[in-house]
């Protein structure tokens, strides 16, 4: 599998809307791969890159595509892939200026001052061999999220330092729970896409999480490609329980042996999962997020009691 973000999800398939059926009921209708209690260490963060010597990217240098939606460290995220057009290379000294555009045409700048230090200070270079993945994230949970009201932008504008503006359609950024910001910026190898890109994920969980007990849920991975997706080497996955002001995170090895170390073309495999809910976790609702290493991610919101 090729290096990718630790949160990417299938576009349009996931905006934290997994079906909320109890896994115990699901087990009656299909077999699931048992949960494997095998914690793994979180990967080290990317090393800072030196300041680029390439000229600053302009809008005419870039092609920008809205990618997958998912969850990352408590944020509901929208992925953008930036690719270099034409010959040569250009550089981004930190994230480009961004603004969300509402359906009414109103522009909401994404404040650069709120970007994490590792994003604001990062320089990345784009070329025919190197793309950039950028995540725009907004807080994913708040009391208001339990209602029906949303503040979703489906369009954004990107203004690189070299000049010009790029309009990107088809994004999904909900700022109901707080201001959006750039939460991840990293260069990746330019490619058609890893084998894991053929996978989508679906999460099925109870509507209620109980403090002090294990939350049991099911993640189903579906291979939409025409070739098998190998689960060797076996990937890990990250899961988190997030409430306002607190995130409980863990990383575990997927039970690849139980799945036969592969997912056949146009087939699905369901995995039992569990997450320990701290007894002192505060709030009325909790966001459950699950992300496969080099693959998709999903999430849902449950009531806390």
pLDDT in tens, 174-196: 999 999 999 888 877 665 444 55
Confidence (pLDDT) at 30: 58
Q: Are 157 and 173 in contact (CB under 8 A)?
A: no
Confidence (pLDDT) at 197: 67
User: Which sign does the torsion angle of CA 292, 294, 295, 296 carry?
Assistant: positive
Q: Which domain holds residue 150?
A: 59-189
Q: Which residues contact 47 (CB under 8 A, 6 or more apart)?
A: none
Last residue of a domain, one of 129, 160, 189: 189
Is residue 269 scored above 90 in pLDDT?
yes
pTM score > 0.85 for this model? no
Same domain, 95 and 156: yes
Q: Which residue has the higher pLDDT, 157 or 43?
A: 157
Query: CA-CA distance, 112 to 96, in Å (whole number)?
Result: 9
Last residue of a domain, one of 138, 166, 189: 189
Same domain, 201 and 287: yes
Pick from 69, 27, 11: nearest CA to 217: 27
Confidence (pLDDT) at 50: 52
The alpha helices in 55-198, defined as continuous H runs, are 117-120
Q: Is the residue at 265 inside a domain?
A: yes
Q: Is the residue at 2 inside a domain?
A: no
Last residue of a domain, one of 142, 167, 189: 189
Same domain, 124 and 212: no
- Residue 240 region by backbone torsions, left for phi larger than 0, else alpha for psi between -120 and 50, else beta: beta
């Amino acid at each position: 599998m090729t290096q990718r973000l630790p949160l990417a999800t299938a576009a349009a398939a996931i905006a934290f809307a997994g079906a909320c059926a109890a896994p115990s009921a699901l087990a009656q209708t299909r077999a699931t791969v048992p949960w494997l209690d095998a914690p793994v260490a979180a990967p080290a963060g990317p090393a800072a890159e030196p300041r680029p010597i390439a000229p600053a990217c302009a809008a005419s240098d870039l092609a920008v595509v809205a990618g997958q939606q998912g969850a990352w460290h408590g944020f509901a995220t929208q992925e953008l892939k930036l690719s270099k057009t034409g010959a040569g290379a250009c550089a981004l000294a930190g994230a480009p200026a961004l603004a969300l555009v509402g359906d009414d045409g109103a522009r909401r700048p994404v404040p650069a001052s709120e970007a994490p230090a590792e994003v604001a200070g990062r320089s990345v270079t784009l070329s025919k061999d190197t793309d950039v993945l950028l995540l725009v994230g907004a807080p994913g949970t708040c009391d208001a999220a339990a209602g029906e009201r949303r503040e979703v932008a489906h369009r954004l504008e990107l203004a690189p330092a070299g000049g010009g503006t790029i309009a990107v359609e088809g994004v999904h950024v909900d700022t109901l729970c707080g201001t959006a910001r750039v939460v991840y910026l990293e260069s990746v190898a330019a490619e058609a896409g890893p084998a894991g890109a053929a996978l989508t994920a679906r999460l099925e969980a109870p509507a209620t999480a109980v403090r002090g007990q294990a939350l049991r849920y099911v993640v189903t991975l579906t291979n939409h490609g025409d070739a098998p997706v190998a689960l060797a080497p076996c990937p890990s996955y990250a899961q988190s329980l997030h409430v306002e002001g607190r995130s409980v995170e863990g990383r575990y090895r997927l039970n690849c042996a139980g799945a036969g170390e592969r997912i056949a073309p146009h087939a699905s495999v369901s995995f039992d999962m569990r997450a320990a809910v701290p007894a002192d976790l505060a709030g009325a609702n909790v966001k459950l997020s699950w992300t496969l290493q080099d693959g998709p991610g999903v999430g849902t919101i449950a009531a806390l009691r």
